[in-house]
Structure formats: C-alpha cells, structure tokens
Structure 1
Amino acid sequence: MDKIIKLAPKENRDVLEARMFAGPSLFMIGLFFFYPAIRTFYLSFKDRYRK
C-alpha cells in the first residue's frame, strides 16, 4: 500500500492515503449494515413462500 501512495503525485498523497485507510472499513459497514437493511426491505414485499 505504501508503494502505491509513493507513486501518486504529491498533492494527491494525503487524499489517497485517507481513502485507502477508510476504504476497507466503509466496505465492511456496507456489507454488514446496508446489505441486510436493503434485503429486509426487499423481502418485506415478498410472500413468505414466494407464491
């Protein structure tokens, strides 16, 4: 990860480092919070046995 940041232009390094640091945590939040919420909302309109 450090190699990628060093290859970036100097004016973008701070932004890139912040995004690479926060990216995995935001992905996990999306995976474990938003996906079940959206799936629950979707399934609430379905019949229990999907008839």
Structure 2
Amino acid sequence: MANLQQKLNGMLHKLTRLAEIFNIAVVITNQVQSSPDTFFGDPIKAAGGSI
C-alpha cells in the first residue's frame, strides 16, 4: 500500500506543478459505488479500493 501512496503523491505533485506553471484548474474526483443491500455502516465505498 505504501507504493500506491507514493505513486499517488507523485502524481498529485505533478498536477500541482502543472496548475501553478500554466495557471490552470485541476479537478480530481473519486469514483464511488453504492451497495443498497447494506443495512449497517456506510453503503458508499471507493470503487477502486482505498489508498
């Protein structure tokens, strides 16, 4: 999992630099899925897992 966090951090750093250099907006979304048969807890979870 640490490897995924490092890759995510690197990508976020690159996007931040691009936004600052070219004065552009960067929008990041998180795809989620719902489990309607869940009675307890949060029925919404990340589609790709958690990082």
Normalising by structure 2, report the TM-score. Answer: 0.34
Which structure shows the bigger proportion of residues in strand conformation? 2
Greater fraction helix: 1
What's the TM-score once normalised by structure 1's chain length?
Answer: 0.34
Relative contact order (C-alpha < 8 Å, sep 6+): which is higher? Answer: 2
Q: Which has the larger radius of gyration?
A: 1
